[in-house]
Amino acid sequence: MSTFPLTRLRRLRSTGALRSLVRETRLGLDSLVYPLFVGPTTQPNESLPALGRFSVDDLVAEAEELRSLGVPAVILFGIPDEKDEQGSGAWDDDGVVQRALRTLRASVPGLVLVTDVCLCEYTSHGHCGVLEGEEVANDATIEVLARTAVSHVEAGADAVAPSDMMDGRVAAIRGALDDAGFDATPILSYAAKYASAFYGPFREAAESAPAFGDRRGYQMDPANVREALRECELDVAEGADVLMVKPAMPNLDIIRAVRERFDLPVAAYNVSGEYAMVKAAAASGWMDERQAALESLTAIKRAGADVIVTYWAKDVARWL
């Protein structure tokens, strides 16, 4: 191997044009998904703008703006008017996400509409499934998740993304979608979703923090990588079309491991806490938001993600 002074790696770093020519990882708007929160009323979020929520009516203008900026896809989260023990708002044909889907389907054709399939925003106790005592009952939960997924697709969802971490939910959803005639609708599985402190701002925005206990009985232990691969393997066997890792930045090694082991598209969720950390630091004058965000997203791509769900998608459309 040739060494200094024959080799000088700084040669290709000397101008922006040269750096761009040899760049190994390119971030593009076409691989980003923007989260959208829909609730009974519009409530902007001043410090974390992407975590604001929209009424169904106001959502249309936001979606039109996203489409005109070139954001290709959104993932919808619903905050219902009322919650109950079962989370029945999740599969209500007249529920907030179902109404949003019908409206967006008609008014912004072409925008890819993904839905988050989970119960935590709909249950009075804030857990991701139905309870038996203080435990989340796995097998009862996957039935209602399947029902929820079907109701989303009936209302116009292009893809469903289960985020609950119950065992067997991908197979249950695949079966229910196929029985309903939706065999062409893909499942983007939150396959390796860790029990994480980084969901804090989301839970505040979506009013979905658990009323007691935590989610460690169903979401993954952040210490584990082999278990993430087992989760992915099972989801592939159950019919998942895309494997998602979440959160993204603390788990770049997991994204890489999933990329190397599987040939499915890999997605990563750059979650609310990752966004909020940069926002807070930028507000204090400690970091440049644009640079920190683009560096984060590029690192997530470099780790192996094909698709990135990010609260910065709308900003990236303006930045790039």
Q: Which is nearer to ligand PBG, 182 or 194 (CB)?
A: 194
**Which of 62, 116, 231, 238 forms a contact with ligand PBG (CB under 6 A)?**
116
Which residue sits closest to ligand PBG, CB atoms considered?
Answer: 202
Q: Does 118 bind ligand PBG (CB under 6 A)?
A: yes
Pick the piece of the chain touching ligand PBG (CB under 6 A) from 65-73, 79-87, 105-113, 201-209.
201-209
- Which of 246, 279, 301, 314 is catalytic? The answer is 246
Residue 116 or residue 238: which is nearer to ligand PBG going by CB?
A: 116
Q: Is 246 a catalytic residue?
A: yes
Cα distances (Å, whole numbers) of residue 150 to 31, 39, 91, 105: 25, 20, 8, 16
Q: Which of 38, 96, 128, 160 binds ligand PBG (CB under 6 A)?
A: 128
By beta-carbon proximity to ligand PBG, the closer residue of 64 and 207 is: 207
Provide the mask over 237-276, with x wherever binding to ligand PBG is found by CB under 6 A and - wherever it is not.
----------------------------------xx----
Instruction: Tell the smallest beta-carbon distance from residue 12 to ligand PBG (Å).
Output: 37
Question: Least distance from C-beta 313 to ligand PBG, angstroms?
Answer: 12
- Catalytic residue list: 193, 246
Binding site for ligand PBG (CB under 6 A): 116, 118, 120, 128, 163, 199, 202-203, 208, 215, 271-272
